[in-house]
Amino acid sequence: MQRAGAGARSNLADREDVVIERGDHLHTDFGIKAMGLATDTQHVGYVLKEGERDAPDGLRRALDNSNRLQDLLLERMRPGRTGNEVLADALAAMKGADIEGSIYTHPIGDHGHGAGPLIGLWDRQDGVPGRGDVRLLPSTWFSIELQAATPVPEWGGQPLRSPQEEDAVLGEDGRMSWVLERQSRYHLVH
């Protein structure tokens, strides 16, 4: 959870004494295992203030930046490329698009972090020795996990971290596609 005015400690998720309030930015990270397959998903929500009908423009811009970073990453995920090659290319494109963020994408399968190439780790944005050197193969499912940090005008320019994680597949045709529709609008709490 993140809150306006919390400054450098805007991420309140690790605190046990926090009560959710109107105007809070919520984040969930969950996975489901069924029929021998695993998912890994992160979505964001917003607790509406009195009189609001949607999240403020700055928060929606943060989600748009995460969606744009997803697009940049998927455009670069092709069979035969290593996870580290994809990471370096996607991070360069991210900088070119004036987005601040990080990428930590991984394969999924019969468990949440499956076998195959890693495309970054949250603390390794310069490549991952070993698993990052593995090549992408067709018919592989990935958890497209990343985040973009965007200054929010309504929060006095305080950065908002918008994490996203959605499942996508590298098809036999060599193209990436979403397994389900990705989040492009906030889940709103009234």
**pLDDT by residue (tens digit) across 92-151?**
999 999 999 999 999 987 766 788 999 999 999 999 999 999 999 999 999 999 999 999
pLDDT single digits (tens) 27-36:
999 888 888 8
Q: Residue 17: is its pLDDT beyond 80?
A: yes
Distances in Å between the alpha carbon of 17 and those of 8, 37, 67, 173?
18, 35, 32, 50
The whole-model pTM stands at: 0.93
Q: Residue 181: is its pLDDT beyond 60?
A: yes
pLDDT band at residue 47 using 50, 70 and 90 as cut-offs: very high
What pLDDT, on a 0 to 100 scale, did the predictor assign at position 35? 85
Within 13 A of 153's CA, how many CA atoms are on the CB side? 5
What pLDDT, on a 0 to 100 scale, did the predictor assign at position 9? 57
Torsion angle defined by CA atoms of residues 185, 73, 79 and 82, in that order, rounded to the nearest 10 degrees: -140
161's tokens: 């971290």
Across all residues in the chain, what is the average pLDDT?
93
Q: Give the C-alpha separation, 173 to 135, whole Å.
A: 16
Q: Give the C-alpha separation, 78 to 4, whole Å.
A: 39
Mean pLDDT value of segment 59-88: 98
Q: Where are the domains of the chain?
A: 7-189
Q: Which of 126, 161, 165 is nearest to 145 (CA)?
A: 165
pLDDT single digits (tens) 5-14:
876 556 676 7
State which fold the 7-189 domain adopts. Answer: Creatine Amidinohydrolase (3.90.230)
88's tokens: 């370096």
Within 13 A of 169's CA, how many CA atoms are on the CB side? 9
97's tokens: 């698009």
Q: Give the C-alpha separation, 52 to 56, whole Å.
A: 8
What pLDDT, on a 0 to 100 scale, did the predictor assign at position 141? 93
pLDDT single digits (tens) 136-150:
999 999 999 999 999
Percent of the chain with pLDDT over 70: 95
Q: Give the C-alpha separation, 97 to 99, whole Å.
A: 6
